[in-house]
Structure 1
Amino acid sequence: MQLSNQYRTINTNSEGSYSELSSKFLAFAYPINSESDINTYKTQLKKLHHKAVHIVFAYRLGINNEIEKSSDDGEPAGSSGLPVLNVLRSHQLTNIAICVVRYYGGKKLGIPGLIRAYKTAAENAIENNTVIIKDIFHHYSVSVEEQYFNNLIHALNQMGASVFEIEYGTQCNFNIRIKAEQKENLETLIEKFWQAELTMVKGE
């Protein structure tokens, strides 16, 4: 189960490989922040491995795995991209992509053989990496009367919040970045400042 206030990912690129019946499977794991990242890596791999017959990929994005995609790239349906995606799922990883380059060795592996090959190559890429746990942060916009501003800022600093983009006036507006685990404490704090308004902008 995904941790409610944290998520698991990798912090660097890594590689893994697997060979069977003269076919070579080269897996490349990448930390990603957007779908454009995976497109960049696929383009690079196509240039480096232009003689490869397939470049299969799978990725997961978002702190709640909002995006999951995979591609068999011409391999039999369900034999390659899905096994790689299932590796990411089994390790509960997100913000990660794995591409597996296949060099055909002249002998067919069959569906079970392909599933085994792509899964093993992907597993090896993860084993050669370091899984890290990152805190989830929330961004909020806050509006508070000037008379409460200093006390509220002090309290937010005590909670470990980062305060930025401050607009001073009779009504002070600013943004904060704070760990998701502080959500209830933050809401309780804001309730004490009756004129304060709290709006969640995004999570990361």
Structure 2
Amino acid sequence: MSLFEDTYKTITSPSEGIYRDKGSKFIAYAYPLRGEDQVKERVAALKSEHPKARHHCWAYRLTPDRSVFRINDDGEPSGTAGRPILNTLLSYDLTNILVVVVRYFGGTLLGVPGLIHAYKTATVEALNAAEVVELTTNDVYRVSFGYEQMNDVMRIVKEENLGVLNQAFDNRCALELEIRRLRVNAVLERLQKVTGVNMVYTDTR
């Protein structure tokens, strides 16, 4: 992701695709993914749903800058399953996504080229069935201020169309704001001009 790019593509909901070759069946499941902790439970659920399948191979990409990824061949020859799945995610430029391909062995060996083609094609089928959405990369800031600054702060929130994730209004007020990355500097500059406002960066999503 370049310095000036603040969007990324992912899928909105789970989708499926299927590919058959010489009796073997490859069922691909694509899932939107928020964190690595979801991977284990997704794979475990598919293993219990398909207990007779020979392999459950997968790949995922995470984070808006696409920097986190992992692959698993689950017993297939190295480079024939997880890598083609990941390469397909790369070619579609998707992130925050997990694809698991469940293989039922049909009794005939497909060879390395055949396996690569099968895992890639099953993944393509699942991605073609998915709804792809482009999202913005947003930085999250915790903004605190006195009650008397409420109108000034809320005007900026409204004019800049900022997402409010959490809010607490007391003698001292606090907002958790989602600010599109390309607008962060401009928004922070506006907030800094309001007397008594403190801002702390907390997250990127």
Structure 2: tracts of 5 or more residues without a match: none
Match of 1:133 in 2: 134
SS in 2 for 1:33: coil
What is the CA-CA distance between 1:147 and the residue it aligns to? Answer: 4.7
- What are the Cα deviations for residues 173-195 of structure 1, in whole angstroms up to 9, with x where unaligned? 43222333321221221332354
Q: TM-score, normalised by structure 1?
A: 0.89
Partner of 2:120: 119
> Contact 1:166 / 1:175 at 8 angstroms: preserved in 2?
no
Q: Give, in angstroms, the shift of residue 102 of structure 1.
A: 0.9
Find the aligned partners of 1:172 and 1:13 in 2 and give their Cα distance. 39
State how far apart, in whole Å, the 1-side matches of 2:81 and 2:61 are: 16
Cα distance in 1 for partners of 2:130, 2:175 equals: 39
Matches of 1:167 and 1:129, distance apart in 2: 41
Match of 1:165 in 2: 167
Mapped to 2, the partners of 1:165 and 1:134 lie a distance apart of 23
Report Cα offsets for 1:42-81 as digits up to 9, x if no partner.
1121112111111101111222224201100001111110
Alignment partners' CA distance in 2, 1:88 and 1:167:
43
Which secondary structure does the structure 2 equivalent of 1:30 belong to? strand
TM-score, length of structure 2 as denominator length: 0.89
Q: Which runs of 4+ in 1 moved over 6 A?
A: none
Q: Please say if residues 149 and 195 of structure 2, whose CA atoms lie closer than 8 Å, have aligned partners that are also in contact.
A: no
- In structure 2, the CA distance between the partners of 1:174 and 1:132, relative to structure 1 (3 Å rule), is closer
**1:12, distance to aligned residue in structure 2 (A):** 1.4
RMSD (Å), alpha carbons: 2.0
Q: Distance in 2 between matches of 1:141 and 1:43?
A: 37
**Structure 1 unmatched runs, 5+:** none
> 1:5-154 maps to which residues of 2 (within 5 A)?
5-145=6-146, 147-154=148-155
CA contact (8 A) 1:53 1:104 kept: yes
